[in-house]
Structure 1
Amino acid sequence: MDIRPQCRRWFASPCSEKLLLDFEKNNPDITLEPWGLEELRQIFRHLSLEDLESWFGPAPTEETELGFKNLQPVLERIATQASPPVQSIREVPRGKIEANALSESVATLLKAGMAKAPLVEEFFAKWRDPDFGERSAESFRKQYESLYEKFTPNRIFSELQGWAGGSARGAPEHELAVLSVLAYYFERCDIFEEPRESRNIQ
């Protein structure tokens, strides 16, 4: 609904009667009528969803917190577990960092997450629902794909971090658990692109 033509005839802000009369006197072709909150409310009730989003941004939906809700069991478990021995920690795939133009800061965060990434794999292997890990992987893939055309690689990583960890930042243990899940799916190539050499080998 385009309300711009109406703006020529209606005056929405509170003003004195004198200002209204003076304006009408100087602009005889325009008729003014004072608007209050109720008149504005009626207009907004008839706006399309697209127009409302242009004013207020997208409305929160259930999907906004879907990743966090699904991952709560694994995040809570990983947060309370000690990291495996250093020798069992795998390196962050450098070729994949470079292939996706991720910054050194993101590489550092992924390296921190790799410390507990084996615990994520172990959790999914032992969880009562054997398909939980793959369903979570599919959720990560879809979320990544929805961000791919919109943001830079570093911003995508930040968006995934917030999506998986919830809107409110948690304790350090929680944040490390989130990074561990991201690192796990990063290494598995569920999120971000594989290096060209890896694709050629396959």
Structure 2
Amino acid sequence: MTGEEYFMKQMFVQKIYKYTGQEFEDFFVQIMSASNPNFKPVKAFGKVGDKKNDGFDETTGTYYQVFSPEDLTKSRTISKGVEKLEEDFTKLYEYWNDKYPVKYFYYVVNDKYHGLPAPIYSKIADLSKNPKYETVTINAFLAKDLEKIFDNLSTQDKQNIIGFLPNINMDTINFSALHDVIEYLLGLKLVTNVDEKFIVPDFDKKIEINGLNLPIKSLLDAASYQEGELIQYFKEYRGLADNLKSVFNSLYEESKIEIPESVDNYPNKRFDYILEKCYPKKTSDVQHAILVLMAHYFSSCDIFEEPPEF
């Protein structure tokens, strides 16, 4: 995976975590439209609405309906998700089946890589067993499924969808961008929990222990070459290094809550989470400044785990 491919994937994942409601539906439609020329989005129109159909492919009889709540773990939200699944599917079938026969129905849920609650799968099973719908395959469509489709898009389509694509080939720090990043980070409201650490383990060993992938290793390695400039910068602003240490430690602890170990590929997704949280604005200079800071605090074990012998 190239650095460019890595960042496109990173931006995709961050949008999954960020988007809910209409934003996620629009994101889903963008990807499906780019992937399948036969995909037709259906926009709600006045009181008529979209007839419980957010998009379909009439050539295959495949229909999609989106559900993207802020928090899928709440009991009330789970109940709403079950009710929505039954109502949307039955009304979609009633309206669309005699126009374009329904052969496949996907309940598109932005699960943010956590998986679906059991009651939703149970309702899918109940609907599938109903003789009225015996010719229809009903299933869930999750973040991981959308990611697979995104992965197969052309580079140009991916760029059109995610927008900003940073330049990772930076040789020196832009100190104006660094100042903007630091000012932004110090303004974040975070719960601090900083542990003092006096032993710094081998950089490569720490990457291996934390399960970070090769593209991230390459980014941290490249950024670490500017650490001397960063340390000189810190010398001019007494106390700044410790303040930022607190910020990055808090961001890492926050990422552990948002992305538990049960999530696939969680170490790399935590890295992406911290990186995304640090952007005051998205430019190449800003991104490079963030990576230099992350490399510095990674090497001193203020973000991510240290090897067990330490």
TM-score by length of 1: 0.51
Deviations 1:172-192 (A, max 9, x none): 332221110110100111100
Give the conservation status (yes or no) of the 8 Å contact 1:74–1:123.
no
Contact 1:113 1:180 in 2 (8 A): yes
Residues 37-186 of structure 1: pairs in structure 2 closer than 5 A: 75-76=178-179, 93-127=203-237, 130-151=238-259, 152-166=266-280, 168-170=281-283, 172-186=284-298
1:76 Cα offset (Å):
3.9
Report deviation, 1:73: 6.3
Q: Residue 177 of structure 2 contacts residue 286 of structure 2 at CA under 8 Å; is this kept in 1?
A: no
Give the aligned partner of residue 38 of structure 2: none
Q: Distance in 1 between matches of 2:176 and 2:240?
A: 11
Segments ≥4 residues shifted beyond 4 Å: none
- Equivalent-residue separation in structure 2 for 1:145 and 1:77 (angstroms): 23
Q: Quick one: which of 182, 194, 198 aligns to 2:306?
A: 194
TM-score, normalised via structure 2 length:
0.34
Coordinate RMSD, CA, aligned: 3.3
For these two proteins, the number of residue pairs brought into alignment is: 120
Q: Which deviations, in whole Å up to 9, do the C-alpha atoms of 1:89-118 show, x marking residues without a partner? A: xxx711100110000111011012112122
Q: Which residue of 2 aligns with 1:24?
A: none
Label 1:135 to 1:120 Cα distance change in 2 as closer, same or farther (>3 A): same
- The structure whose residues are more often helix, as a share, is 1
Match for 2:227: what amino acid? Answer: A
Structure 2 unaligned runs (5+)? 1-45, 49-74, 82-174, 182-201, 260-265
How far residue 150 of structure 1 moved from its aligned partner, in angstroms, is 3.0
| Cα deviation digits, residues 145-176 of structure 1 (max 9, x gap) | 0111432111111111122233x421x33222
Deviation at 1:124, TM superposition (A): 1.2
What CA distance in whole angstroms lies between the structure 2 residues aligned with 1:162 and 1:147? 11
Instruction: Indicate the percent of aligned positions where both proteins have the same amino acid.
Output: 25
Which segments of 5 or more consecutive residues in structure 1 lack a partner in the other structure?
1-12, 16-49, 56-71, 79-91
Q: Is the strand fraction higher in 1 or 2?
A: 2
d(CA) in 1 for partners of 2:268 and 2:295?
Answer: 14
Greater shift after overlay, 109-118 or 99-108?
109-118
